[in-house]
Chains A and B, each alone.
Chain A
Amino acid sequence: MPQTEESFEFELQKQIENWVRRLKSEPSFTESDIEELKSHLLDLIDQLREKGLDDEEAFLVASKRMGTIPDLESDFREANNPILQIRRSALILAGVLVYFLLYHFIESSSKLMLMVSIYGGLDAYTGSQWVYKYLISWHLIVIFFITSIYFLENKVINFIENVRLKPKHTIFLLLTTFFLAIINISGTPIIKNMVNKERYIISYLFIHYRDFGYTFPLIVCVGFIIIYFKYYKIAKF
């Protein structure tokens, strides 16, 4: 069955979209660069169609004249170097904020959980055991998360490339971290008052949170190093 004009046009659109998608998969291009290159490609295609080439020929010639994606990527990587450095730095800073947010979330939520359970009638010792298991389970969650980042390469790269960090996001992260830190810090004297008669519980809790303060950052740092080694070449740091 002969292909209709509509299906040719559809293929051209598809090929253009594929070309744009390949550009978007490279971190060296900004959104503005991609839009500009697409506009140029379309102008070239129009020019070639006016000269009598059909859609497929026009696309092939135009995309060849634009240059290969690796050539384009190499040209733009140098030109966009300051932007890429800023983007990487912003992502790293955001990562640090997310770490502190998670740290304070885990500690503050464990303290809230303990307060609620003691208020609800549970004995403080069982409550402290729950806190211990809760903290351990978060270690396992983080290890699982790091392992999935290590193995799910394509999804991670897609996620990182599509992340668009706006200033309001960083302010939101910072304010949330402050809020959780306040809950975390103010939770300690409240719990001390609640378990005043059972001072050994305070010792247990102190040990749990002290150990958490060492093991959690250790797991995150080791995980970061392992992932950094894996993605070093791909991310072209």
Chain B
Amino acid sequence: MKSISKELIGASASPIILSILRNGDSYGYEIVQKVKELTAGRIKWREASIYPVLKKMENSGMIKSYWIVNEGERPRKYYTILADGQEQLEKHRDELELMYSVFGKLWKIST
């Protein structure tokens, strides 16, 4: 099974993270595991590479982080999607749907 190109993985990181957070707040490790499950291992992010992406998304106002520290449990930094993030996600969705329909038409014609 061929792996997906790094460029495509990089470009899809932000919409994937926003889509996961749209369904509920999550933390870095959990997000990486969800991506592995959803893609059946076809998309494998280097474990720690998600954090600089999350930072950039937080700096641009798409998501916000907060710590949960429960007694006897490991402190975890959770992320939640903000209104700007929802907007960006809708924009990504429109773009990806457009590309999907374009490629769909092209490949139908070529076959």
Contact = CB atoms under 8 A, between A and B. Distances in A.
Interface of A: 32-33, 35-37, 39-40, 42-44, 65-67, 71-72, 75-76, 78-80, 82
Contact of B48 (A32, A40, A42, A80): A40
A42 B74 contact: yes
9 contacts: A35-B77, A37-B48, A39-B27, A39-B29, A43-B74, A44-B47, A67-B46, A75-B48, A82-B59
Interface in B10-31: 27-29
Nearest to A40: B29
A26 to B, nearest CB: 13
A33 B51 contact: yes
Contacts of A43: 29, 74
A72 B52 CA distance: 9
A42 B59 CA distance: 26
Given A32-B77, A35-B75, A35-B77, A40 B52 contact: no
B77 A66 contact: no
Given A32-B77, A39-B75, A39-B76, A78 B29 contact: no
A173 B89 CA distance: 47
Contacts of A35: 75, 77
Contacts of A82: 59
A37 B51 contact: yes
Interface in B63-88: 74-77
Contacts of A78: 52
A43 B56 CA distance: 23
Given A36-B28, A79-B56, A67 B49 contact: yes
A79 B46 contact: no
A42 to B, nearest CB: 6
A39 B77 contact: yes
A76 B47 CA distance: 13
